[in-house]
Amino acid sequence: MSTEISKEVICPGCGARVAARMWTGINAEVNPNLRAEVLDETLFDWKCPQCGHEATLAYPCLYHDKGRRFMVYVLPQEPDEQKAAGIAAQFPQLRGVRKRVTGSLASLKEKILLFEDGLDDRAVELVKLLVALVLERSSGKRVTQGLYVSGDEERERIGFLFSLEGEEQPVHRVTSFSAYHKASAIVEFLLPPDGGDFLLVDESFARRLFERYRTGRDERQEEQPEDQAAEQAEGEEQAESTDRRE
């Protein structure tokens, strides 16, 4: 079952102390409506009953999809793997379930989308990093955020939405799905089987993984994966909504 609590918050608009409904645990199978509200980015919306001030409430929340065997633990602003480790220790039956910790609601949505698409986020993060490097090189601007938005193996496309420093509108980039398969091979070669402790799989994770691969590549004199990504990441800019489904 999903877990709902009521907690007092102070409105930043008028200073009133009011009760706010919070979902500290979400069971996607039992409450698919909550899953839909996470994906349409409304579940964490809050409106002050006194002055009407609207805000997004970010608080610790554990999202669990039992059927697809993954969990995402949101720890706003401090996604510490050690803080999440206690959960895995308390529930040994969760061995084999993909467990992630993240600090943002945007990343929670991203993890849900890619896991539901049957993808490995460790490989996706590596592809995203390489595509971002190509985008930075071509645009001359720093990527401030990148998010997975779609994957279609039949059409050989995997898409990302990137925010660039100084730009209001995000940029959509598409690359070949074969890049994901190459990244998956790297993950399988370098990392242990998934499903143990909670992992923080983000850009830093991808950079460390890439550095490990590059170090080994230098020893083996293999082709640079960033060159492969550059050849494949000729994605076009296009306006695309991130609201792919309910």
3-class DSSP string for 71-94: EEEECCCCCCHHHHHHHHHHCHHH
- What does the angle CA 82 – CA 125 – CA 57 come to, to the nearest 5 degrees? 60
The pLDDT value recorded for residue 217 is 64
User: Are 30 and 1 a contacting pair, CB within 8 Å?
Assistant: yes
| pLDDT at residue number 91 | 66
SS3 state at 135: helix
pLDDT at res. 235:
43
Would you give the DSSP letter of residue 16?
-
How far apart CA 120 and CA 189 sit, in angstroms, is 14
- pLDDT < 70 stretches in the chain: 1, 84-92, 217-246
Give me the pLDDT at residue 236, please: 40
User: 161: which strand partners?
Assistant: 147, 172
Q: What is the pLDDT of residue 214?
A: 87
Rounded to 5°, angle at Cα 89 from 88 and 91: 65
**pLDDT of the residue at 2:** 87
Angle between helices 32-39 and 105-116 (to 10 degrees): 120
Q: What is the pLDDT of residue 111?
A: 98
Question: What's the pLDDT at 232?
Answer: 47
DSSP 166-197: T-SS-EEEEE-HHHHHHHHHHHHHHSPPSSSS
Residue 184 confidence (pLDDT): 96
Look at residues 89, 105, 103, 9 and name the one whose alpha carbon lies nearest to residue 49.
9
User: Which of 184, 182, 130 lies closest to 160, judged by CA?
Assistant: 130
> Which pLDDT value is given to residue 99?
92
Residue 167: what pLDDT?
Answer: 94
